[in-house]
Amino acid sequence: MQHQEIVELSGSRSVWSINRRTGLERGITMAELAAEYAHTIRGLFSEPVDVVGISTGGGIALQLALDHPQLVRRLVLVSSAYRLSDHGRLVQRRIAEFLRDGHPRTAAGLFLSNTGATRATRAILALAGRLAPRIVVGREDADLLVTLDAEDTFDLSDRVENVEAQTLVIGGGKDRFYTAELFADTARRIPGATLTIYPGAGHIGTQGNRRLVRDILEFLEAPGVSDPGTA
């Protein structure tokens, strides 16, 4: 989510935007990343919070909800599921290879092209990535490579049924990193979860959809939750 969407979410609640730390050790896992987030949440809040996770952040949020259920009141997964699609995993491996080989323009172009929903959009995004790679993949960002490696082995398909928090899964019908089928299966396996699909949206289109903030707020503000905070 960009700054504007975060501001819109904060209309009736406190919103904390938490990102991964810098200087990640090679070989760190999604579970270890989630444990670091758990440590931060414990330090900031005395009660369970609503957690919104986007893309890779959604994977960490799902891991958090499973490993530290006492910290998560409600869970929202945006453009995320219990694992990457086969295509998404292959693309991220290729991105990591390009970065390690010193080809950030190719890596950025490949990433952005796969966030689009149509062939024309993907072509435009690929060009944008090649023209401005630092905006997409940073400058020799070792932490990005570590995170890509962590997500490569991420798969909670054998545990997702154990999520205790009320959950909303939001995804694009044309998302190439996860797929509509994975969003639906994630929601189906989580007890009582709600699924929202934006039919024509790709990975990035879901995050920019004008319905997104409204759908998240309607879920978080539904009866049963009072005075919530969001991490």
Per-residue pLDDT of the chain (231 residues; tens, 9 = 90+): 445 556 677 766 788 888 888 999 999 999 999 999 999 999 999 999 999 999 999 999 999 999 999 999 999 999 999 999 999 999 999 999 999 999 999 999 999 999 999 999 999 999 999 999 999 998 767 999 999 999 999 999 999 999 999 999 999 999 999 999 999 999 999 999 999 999 999 999 999 999 999 999 999 988 864 444 555
Dist. CA 187–CA 67, nearest whole Å:
18
Read off the pTM.
Answer: 0.91
Q: Bridge-partner residues for 77, per DSSP?
A: 53, 169
For 3-83+149-230, CATH gives 3.40.50.1820
Q: What is the pLDDT of residue 230?
A: 54
Task: Give CA separation, 103 vs 48, 100, 106, in Å.
Answer: 43, 8, 6
Residues of the chain within CATH 3.40.50.1820 domain(s) are 3-83+149-230
Q: What is the pLDDT of residue 226?
A: 42
Report how far Cα 52 is from the mean position of its chain's Cα atoms.
8
Helix (H, G, I), strand (E, B) or coil at 192: coil
Starting at the earlier edge strand, list the strands of the sheet with 229-230: 14-15, 229-230, 49-54, 72-78, 166-172, 194-198
Neighbours of 101 (CB within 10 A): 10
